[in-house]
A = this chain, B = another copy of it.
Amino acid sequence: MIERLTILGVGLIGGSLALALRKAGAVREIVGVGRSPENLQLAVERGIIDRFTHDARAGVAGADMVFLGAPVASIVPLALEIRPALAPGAVVTDGGSTKATIAEALRLPYASPPEYEDGDKETPPAFVPGHPIAGTEKSGAGAAFAELFEGRRSILTPVAETPQWAVERVRAMWAHAGADVEIMTPAHHDTVLAAISHLPHAAAYALVDAVRSLEESSGQSILGFAAGGFADITRIAASDPVMWRDIFLANKPAILQALGTYEKALAELRGYLEADDGAALERYIGRAKLARERLPVGQVKPTL
């Protein structure tokens, strides 16, 4: 049971976590922290939080669990800001979609010496880097719903300084919310996310940009003919530019590696076409079709 959960950033993810934990009877009190009074008021009206404040340090006082639902670029500053105000033994976790940068920056400020255990009065606060793989195209407390995490994965990426008792408390929280918890290194998380989320976003942005540029150079309408296939493949290109700028910057090394692999894959395909190599084209397309069939699409919900 979480006695007091403080959520910094009561949006789709933080709000849905609150609703899921309430539904599971796994939390006693929930405090919201954010900048928008309208969003926080709506969160109170929807029963997501019990009360709110705009002051992060005041908000986390006395909390035994803190969830940082802020944009990826704000997580480290926020975690450092609240650090002095945390109660002994408080556990902080986040939902940022890149992990290596965050885990590295908070490694020392949240290091918890191994002599302390969960429940000890003097135990320093701990930080457990996390990322629930869930989402929809909507945002804000108004979009939150209790079932968002059901059957979805929530990834935790503890480092050497992260105490096991803190990992277990965050794992239990996500399990109560209905998620399947996976533990991996921050680096592997970032490779996975670069591959299945960040690279597809880059591919979609570049695709729209290329078509826009082809339209410009042809001087005739092209985008006006786009139908469902193009709309499907570029849907994620409608995401927020500031949020995605920050995700790209935060996961730079893994994304550059994924982009390099993608550029090689495109060049291979182009080479077969240039050489009129029908057999190689067919093999290449068939291999992609087979790989795609391995996706867990049965489990897919609106997403990532």
A120 CA / B239 CA spacing, docked (Å): 59
Contact with B along A209-252 (1 / 0, CB 8 A): 11111110010101111111111111111110110111011001
- Is the Cβ of B226 less than 8 Å from the Cβ of A196? yes
- Is the Cβ of A200 less than 8 Å from the Cβ of B238? no
Give min CB distance, A248 to chain B, whole Å: 6
- Is the Cβ of A256 less than 8 Å from the Cβ of B285? no
Residues of B within 8 A of A262 (CB): 206-207, 210, 266
Give min CB distance, A265 to chain B, whole Å: 4
Residues of B within 8 A of A230 (CB): 196-197, 200, 295, 304
- Is the Cβ of A261 less than 8 Å from the Cβ of B210? yes
This protein's copies in its complex: 2
> Which residues of A in the span 271-295 have a Cβ within 8 Å of any Cβ on B?
273-274, 276, 278, 281-282, 284-289, 291-295
- Is the Cβ of B208 less than 8 Å from the Cβ of A196? no
> What is the interface size of chain A, counting residues whose CB is below 8 A from a CB of the partner?
97
Q: Chain A's interface: helix, strand, loop or mixed, by majority?
A: helix
- Is the Cβ of B213 less than 8 Å from the Cβ of A196? no
Give min CB distance, A199 to chain B, whole Å: 7
The reply to whether the CB of A165 lies closer than 8 angstroms to some CB of chain B is no
Which residue of B202, B207, B265, B273 contacts A252 across the interface (Cβ within 8 Å)?
B273
Interface centre among A212, A257, A285, A296 (most CB of B within 10 A): A285
Give min CB distance, A275 to chain B, whole Å: 10
The reply to whether the CB of A51 lies closer than 8 angstroms to some CB of chain B is no
Give min CB distance, A294 to chain B, whole Å: 5
Q: Can you pick out 20 interface pairs between chain A and chain B where the beta carbons lie within 8 Å of each other?
A: A133-B227, A191-B214, A192-B220, A195-B211, A196-B222, A196-B230, A200-B229, A200-B230, A203-B266, A205-B284, A205-B285, A206-B262, A209-B287, A210-B258, A213-B264, A223-B294, A227-B301, A232-B232, A239-B285, A263-B270
Interface residues of A (CB under 8 A from B): 133-134, 152-153, 184, 188, 191-192, 194-197, 199-215, 218, 220, 222-239, 241-242, 244-246, 248-249, 252, 255-259, 261-270, 273-274, 276, 278, 281-282, 284-289, 291-297, 299-304
